[in-house]
Homo-oligomer: A and B are copies of this chain.
Amino acid sequence: MRKNQLFLCSLLISLFMYAQEDPLNVIVFGAHPDDCDVDAGGTAILFSKMGHKVKFVSLTNGDAGHYAMGGGELAKIRIAEAKEAGKRFGVEYTVLDNHDGELMPTLENRLKVIREIRKWNADIVIAPRPNDYHPDHRYTGVLVQDAAYMVIVPNVAADTPPLEKNPVFLYSEDRFQKPSPFEPDIAVIIDDVFNQKIHAMAAHESQFFDWLPWTSGNLDKVPKDEKGRLEFLANWRSRKPNRATLECLKTWYGAKAANAKHAEGFEICEYGKQPSETEIKRLFPMLKKE
């Protein structure tokens, strides 16, 4: 009986704390309907499981990413795949209707990004750096950078109430060295949810089992069965943390870092809020030394 009372008590405390600590709002921007997934999918699952709210936004509708389909027909398939992926990740998934391969850093697009960030009341904004191999990725980086600070200016996009504070803007990890290499400030171990990430990513069938294998000449190596496909994707996407990420993991996870198999790294963009270590820990509650 006492046990039950204790449990009830602890439940109430939890609820009380939850009431005190609002869930975090995380928004991730990608150029195409599978980019957020690759860049921050594991972290998103972890946030989601802890009761926080995550939104993925693709700035293009992906209507150029296939060898045998295209246009509105393809866009509709990719939007449906993104919706399914969102369910699997436990996140909301929005696809903006810009042509794939034609994303430009216009004011119009910047304002769309500003409104998405405001409507999500974001604490954390994640996007690619403005250097990456695909022009749409680079201009996604530019557009999200250009939304930083402007999200708090009431006269800009006056139809959508501004945020009270500039959120933390983070760059997702990439391998590019020029003009300066990616330097992770935060890195999240996603081993526990790696399989779920792969399963969620697999919802983008037209991408991971059609288009991308085709571009690398591997279309014939893609398994036909569900299980085989998940293994294929897991092998393809499995990449040990590199040296810089490993160093970063150690900072946040201590000894645990050494065994990490899968991680997602993030660099703090200088144009958003510059969080302290304490703030980072509050914003990334999954970062914990054992």
Instruction: Contact check, A74 vs B71: say whether CB atoms are below 8 A apart.
Output: yes
A12 at the interface (CB under 8 A from B): no
Chain B residue contacts of A157, Cβ below 8 A: 97
Assess A65 versus B107: contact at CB under 8 Å? Given A145-B135, A179-B179, A271-B133. no
| Contact residues, A129-160 vs B (CB, 8 A) | 131-135, 138, 145-146, 148-150, 152-160
Instruction: Contact check, B64 vs A156: say whether CB atoms are below 8 A apart.
Output: yes
Instruction: Contact check, B101 vs A270: say whether CB atoms are below 8 A apart.
Output: no
Assess A154 versus B72: contact at CB under 8 Å? Given A133-B271, A135-B146, A179-B179. yes
With the chains together, A102 CA to B76 CA distance in Å?
Answer: 19
Assess A155 versus B107: contact at CB under 8 Å? Given A133-B270, A149-B133. no
Chain B proximity mask over A40-71: 1 for CB below 8 Å, otherwise 0: 00000000000000000000010111111111
Question: Secondary structure at chain A's binding surface: helix, strand, loop or mixed?
Answer: loop
| Contact residues, A176-192 vs B (CB, 8 A) | 176-180
Contact of A270 (CB < 8 Å), options: B75, B97, B159, B177 = B177
Instruction: Contact check, B135 vs A70: say whether CB atoms are below 8 A apart.
Output: no
Contact of A71 (CB < 8 Å), options: B69, B108, B149, B180 = B69
Chain B residue contacts of A260, Cβ below 8 A: none
Chain B proximity mask over A69-101: 1 for CB below 8 Å, otherwise 0: 111111110010000000000000001110111
A111 at the interface (CB under 8 A from B): yes
Closest B residue to A132 using CB positions = B271
> A73, A76, A96: which has the most chain B beta carbons within 10 Å?
A73
Chain B residue contacts of A199, Cβ below 8 A: none
A110 at the interface (CB under 8 A from B): yes
Between-chain CB contacts (< 8 Å), 8 pairs: A65-B155, A70-B70, A72-B156, A75-B159, A96-B159, A135-B150, A138-B146, A179-B180
Instruction: Contact check, B102 vs A107: say whether CB atoms are below 8 A apart.
Output: yes
Contacts A64-B156, A67-B154, A72-B156 aside, 17 further interface pairs with beta carbons under 8 A come to A63-B70, A63-B155, A64-B153, A69-B69, A69-B71, A70-B155, A71-B72, A72-B155, A73-B73, A73-B155, A74-B155, A75-B158, A95-B159, A97-B159, A133-B271, A134-B149, A178-B270
